[in-house]
């Protein structure tokens, strides 16, 4: 069973986090949401408070098949947390999947992982990411998958399902949710 870690920082974009989490769980993927702070309650950009599965501190020693970074204003907290940088670099060095949506590809950029790659992101970080392919919904280059924002969250989630399970499983879920 594939495993996914989703770090949640205050201000995370709810649609970008939970649409992919829902789709991955429908596919049978083991998804762990982990709050960046000490407690397990994290409030998103729209004021929805999520009950994370655990804290980031509690799972730092575990390996995951995919680390997925949601966007939103919480990206500033992801970028400022050295544990997130270490996690991303460790994941990349191990040849395991990384995914980021909206402004979160900036975290991958900060880690030096986007140079020479095809990627997309939200227009709000376009000045930081000069090679952004702004019209693409979802891009996978090597073991890095990026997506534009809330409006592409379902496409992104189904793409992650296809990568971690199978294209057939993604198609079945797409049909089941009338996408």
Tokens of 13: 């974009």
User: How are beta strands 30-35 and 49-51 bridged, if at all?
Assistant: unpaired
* Beta-carbon contacts of residue 119 (< 8 Å; ≥ 6 apart): 105, 108, 129, 131, 132, 133, 139, 141, 144, 146
Q: Is 111 a catalytic residue?
A: no
CA pair distance 60, 91, nearest whole angstrom: 11
* Helix 153-164 and helix 14-26, axial crossing angle in degrees, nearest 10: 30
Positive/negative CA dihedral, 126, 118, 101, 38: negative
Residue 9 to residues 26, 115, 165: CA-CA distances in angstroms? 24, 25, 27
C-alpha 70: how far from chain center: 4
The catalytic position among 102, 108, 150, 153 is 102
Residues acting as catalytic residues = 102
């Amino acid at each position: 069973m594939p495993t996914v870690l989703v770090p949640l920082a205050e201000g995370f974009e709810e649609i970008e986090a939970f649409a992919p989490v829902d789709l991955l769980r429908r596919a049978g993927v083991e998804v762990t949401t982990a709050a960046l702070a000490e407690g397990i309650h994290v409030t998103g950009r729209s004021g929805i408070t999520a009950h994370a599965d655990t804290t980031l501190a509690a799972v730092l020693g575990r390996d995951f098949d995919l680390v997925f970074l949601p966007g939103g204003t919480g990206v500033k907290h992801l970028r400022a947390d050295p544990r997130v940088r270490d996690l991303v670099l460790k994941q990349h060095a191990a040849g395991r999947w990384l995914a980021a949506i909206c402004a979160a590809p900036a975290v991958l950029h900060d880690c030096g992982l986007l140079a020479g790659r095809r990627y997309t992101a939200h227009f709000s970080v376009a000045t930081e990411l000069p090679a952004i392919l702004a019209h693409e919904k979802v891009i996978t280059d090597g073991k890095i998958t990026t997506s534009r924002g809330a409006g592409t969250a379902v496409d992104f989630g189904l793409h992650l399902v296809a990568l971690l399970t199978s294209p057939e499983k993604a198609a079945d879920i797409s049909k089941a949710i009338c996408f």
